Structure 1
Amino acid sequence: MTATLAELEQLCNEFQNLLCAKKIRKIRAHVAGISLETPDPRFWIWEQWENQVACFLSSEKPAAIPPTAFVMLLRKYLNGARIISIQILNQDRILEFKIEQGSQTYFLIAEMSGRYRNLILLNAQQRVLGSLRQDSSRQSPLRTGQPYGPPSPYQGKRTPLSQAFQRLELQGETSAWIQAHWEKTKTEKALNTLKNEIASGLEQQKNAVHRKIRTAELGLEESQSWPEWKKRAELLQGAWGKVKPGASQVKLPDYFDPELKEIEIELDPALDLQANLSRCFKQARRLKRRQAFLENELLKHWEKEATLQALLKDWQNCLLVSESLTPSEQLQAYQGFKEKHQTWFFKLPPPLAKAKSAQGRSLWRSFFSSKQTLIRVGKTDKGNEALLKQGKGNDIWLHTRNWPGAHVLISKPKDQSLDSEDLLDGAALALFYSSQPEESPAEISWTELKYLRRIKASKAGEVLISKQNTLIYRIQPERLKRLKNPD
Structure 2
Amino acid sequence: MSLNASEINLIIEELDVEGSYIQKIIQPDFHTLIFAVYSPRDHFNLLISMKPGTSRLHRHEGRIRKAEKLQRFSQFLRSRIMGGRITSLSQPGNDRIIRMEIKKGDEHTVLWIRLWGGNSNIIATDPDNIILDSYYRRPAKGETSGAKLVYRTKEQDLSKFPVREHPQDISFNRYIDKIYTDLENRELKEQLHQQIDALTTRTLTKLECRLANAKSLVDKYENFEQYKQYGELILANSRSIQRGASFLETANYYSENETIQIPLDPKLSASENSEKYFHRYKKAKNGLALLKDEAQNLSAKIADINATRDALLAEEDIDTLEEWYAKEKQHQSKVVTKDIPGLQFTSGQFLLYVGRTAKENDALLRRHVRGSDWWLHARDYAGGYVFIKVEKGKSVPLDTLLDAGNLAVHFSKGKNSQKADVYYTQVKYLRRAKDGPLGLVIPTQEKNLAVTKDQARLKRLLGEVD
1:119 aligns with 2:122: yes
Shift of the alpha carbon at 1:125?
A: 3.2
Q: Structure 1 counterpart of 2:132, which letter?
A: L
2:331 is matched by which residue type in structure 1? K
Query: Does the C-alpha gap of structure 1 residues 258 and 246 become closer, same or farther in structure 2, counting only changes over 3 Å?
Result: same
Tell me what 1:139 maps to: 140
Q: 1:109 to 1:310 in 2, by over 3 A?
A: closer
User: How do 1:33-72 residues align onto structure 2 when only pairs under 5 Å count?
Assistant: 33-35=33-35, 37=37, 39=39, 40-43=41-44, 45-48=46-49, 52-57=54-59, 68-72=74-78
Distance 1:483 1:351 in 2: 19
Residues 288, 118 of structure 1: alpha-carbon distance in 2 compared, 3 angstrom cutoff: farther
Distance 1:152 1:192, change over 3 A: farther
Distance 1:291 1:97, change over 3 A: same
CA distance in 2, matches of 1:139, 1:23: 36
2:81 corresponds to which residue? 75
1:269 maps to 266
Aligned partners of 2:101 and 2:327: how far apart in 1?
52
Partner of 1:228: 226
Distance apart, 1:379 and its partner CA: 6.8
Question: Normalising by structure 2, what TM-score?
Answer: 0.58
Match of 1:347 in 2: 331
Q: Secondary structure at the match of 1:286?
A: helix
Separation in structure 1 between the aligned mates of residue 193 and residue 243 of structure 2, nearest angstrom: 67
Unmatched 5+ residue regions in structure 1?
323-329, 367-377, 385-404, 407-428, 434-481
Equivalent residue in structure 2 for 1:188, among 186, 191, 194: 186
Say which SS state the counterpart of residue 233 (structure 2) adopts. helix
What SS does structure 2 have at the residue aligned with 1:237? helix
> What is the rounded CA distance, in whole Å, between the counterparts of 2:378 and 2:216 in structure 1?
35
- TM-aligned CA distance change 1:255 to 1:202, over 3 Å: same
**Per-residue displacement from partner, 1:389-426 (whole Å, max 9, x unpaired)?**
xxxxxxxxxxxxxxxx86xxxxxxxxxxxxxxxxxxxx
Query: C-alpha distance in 1, partners of 2:153/2:250?
Result: 90
Q: Are the structure 2 counterparts of residues 380 and 86 from structure 1 closer, same or farther at C-alpha, using a change threshold of 3 Å?
A: closer
> In the alignment, does 2:3 pair up with 1:3?
yes
- In the alignment, residue 8 of structure 1 is paired with which amino acid? I
Residue 87 of structure 1 is matched in structure 2 by 91
Note the alpha carbon deviations across 1:100-142, whole angstroms, 9 max, x for none.
67887542111322344432211133222123x4445x63364
Cα pair 1:4 1:93 within 8 Å, conserved: yes
The change in CA–CA distance for 1:336 and 1:267 in structure 2 (over 3 A counts) is same
- SS of equivalent to 1:34: strand
- Within-5 A mapping of 1:29-428: 29-32=25-28, 33-35=33-35, 37=37, 39=39, 40-43=41-44, 45-48=46-49, 52-57=54-59, 68-75=74-81, 79-80=84-85, 82-83=87-88, 86-88=90-92, 93-98=96-101, 106-131=109-134, 133-135=135-137, 139-140=140-141, 142-148=143-149, 160-164=161-165, 173-196=171-194, 211-259=209-257, 261-304=258-301, 307=304, 319=314, 330-331=316-317, 335=319, 347=331, 349=334, 350-351=350-351, 353=353, 355-358=355-358, 362=378, 364=380, 383=413
Give the aligned CA root-mean-square deviation in angstroms: 4.9
Instruction: Return the alpha-carbon distance in structure 2 between the equivalents of residues 213 and 187 of structure 1.
Output: 38
How high is the sequence identity, in percent, across the aligned residues?
Answer: 14
Shift of 1:251: 2.5
What's the offset of the Cα at 1:248?
2.5
- Residues 269 and 2 (structure 1 numbering): CA distance in 2 closer, same or farther, change over 3 Å? farther
- 1:26 maps onto 2:22 in alignment: yes
* Distance of aligned partners of 1:50 and 1:354 in 2 relative to their CA distance in 1, 3 Å threshold: farther
Change (3 A) 1:289 1:134: farther
**Alpha-carbon distance change, 191 to 223 in structure 1, aligned in 2, over 3 angstroms:** same
| Change over 3 Å in CA distance of 1:64–1:308 after alignment to 2 | closer
Quick one: structure 1 residues 126 and 31, their matched pair in 2 at CA, closer, same or farther if it must change by over 3 Å? closer
Offset of residue 354 of structure 1 = 6.2
Alpha-carbon contact 2:113-2:121 (below 8 Å) kept: yes
| Structure 1 CA distance for aligned equivalents of residues 112 and 297 of structure 2 | 60
Q: 2-side partners of 1:108 and 1:483: how far apart?
A: 67
Letter in 2 for 1:3: L
For 1:193 and 1:61, how far apart are their aligned partners in 2? 18
Q: How big is each residue's C-alpha offset from its partner over 1:20-58, in whole Å with a ceiling of 9 and x where there is no partner?
A: xx2342341124323163633354613338654431136
Deviation (angstroms), 1:257 = 3.3
Note closer, same or farther for the CA distance 1:119–1:339 as it changes in structure 2 (3 Å cut): closer
Q: After superposition, what is the alpha-carbon deviation per residue over 1:70-104, rounded to whole angstroms, capped at 9, x for unaligned?
A: 2323327x824622x52247x86332234567887
- 1:124 & 1:335 partners in 2: Cα distance? 43
Letter in 2 for 1:269: P
1:399 is matched with none
SS at the partner of 1:164? coil
CA deviation after TM superposition for structure 1 residue 9, in Å: 4.1
Alpha-carbon spacing, 1:298–1:173, altered in 2? closer, same or farther (3 Å): same
Shift of 1:347: 3.5
Given that 1:252 and 1:262 are in contact with CA atoms closer than 8 Å, whether structure 2 keeps it comes out as yes
Three-state SS of the structure 1 residue aligned to 2:91 is strand
Name the CA shift for 1:4/1:46 in 2 (closer, same or farther; >3 Å). same
CA separation of 1:192 and 1:107: change in aligned 2, threshold 3 A = same
Q: 1:246 to 1:102 in 2, by over 3 A?
A: closer
Deviation of 1:300 (Å): 2.3
Kindly indicate whether residue 462 of structure 2 is the aligned counterpart of residue 484 of structure 1.
no
Structure number with greater Rg is 1
Unmatched segments (≥5 aa) in structure 2: 335-349, 362-376, 383-407, 421-447, 452-466
